[in-house]
Amino acid sequence: MFPILKERINQQAGTLSGGEQQMLAMGRGMMAGPKILLLDEPSLGLAPLVFAQVFELVRKLNEERQMTIILVEQNASIALKMAHYAYVLENGLTAFEGTGDELIRDPRVKAAYLGAAVKE
């Protein structure tokens, strides 16, 4: 799943790039064959290309392996586009909930969290 990590096999984890460290963390989490995978801010500090690769992997795990993914992500746009169901938290409380499609179209969610960046 992460061919770049094969090239880094003799490199210590702490010396990997941020994106490579994210891939390593995901790989380590998947080694046990979980039915549910919790990802906390997988986009944090990633270059755009690596960001796209990580979220493509999340999509594949969900669709192809039928793995449930619990995603904690500040990039609301990408999270809602991928979500079957989502909760938008504000100050630790649920501000909105619904399907990803419902929330991405909700004018209140758009105004507060998505701005004008989301195209339907």
The predicted-structure confidence for 103-112, as pLDDT tens digits, reads as follows 999 999 988 8
- What is the amino acid identity at position 95? A
What are the two backbone dihedrals, phi and then psi, of residue 36, each rounded to the nearest 5 degrees? -130, 135
Q: What is residue 116's predicted lDDT score, i.e. its pLDDT?
A: 52
pLDDT-derived band at 26 (thresholds 50, 70, 90) equals: confident
- Does residue 16 come out as left (phi exceeding 0), alpha (psi in the -120 to 50 range) or beta? beta
- My answer on whether 13 and 61 are in the same domain is yes
Per-residue model confidence (pLDDT) at position 120: 52
Task: Provide the domain count of the chain.
Answer: 2
Q: Are residues 54 and 32 in the same domain?
A: yes
* Same domain? 2 vs 51: yes
In this predicted structure, what is the pLDDT of residue 3? 84
Looking at the fold, whether 81 and 54 belong to one and the same domain comes out as no
> Are 97 and 45 within one domain?
no
Task: Assess whether 85 and 67 both reside in one domain.
Answer: no
Closest CA to 100 of 114, 119, 116, 87: 87
Map residue 68 onto helix, strand or coil: strand
**pLDDT tens track for 51-103:** 888 888 889 889 988 999 999 998 899 999 999 999 999 899 999 999 999 99
Same domain, 7 and 47: yes
Residues 68 and 86 in one domain: no
Show the domain range for 90. 75-120
Residue 11: which pLDDT band, with cuts at 50, 70 and 90? very high
What's the gap between Cα 95 and its chain centre? Answer: 20
Considering the domain architecture, whether residues 54 and 85 belong to the same structural domain is answered as no
Q: Are both 103 and 68 inside the same structural domain?
A: no
> 52 and 80: one domain?
no
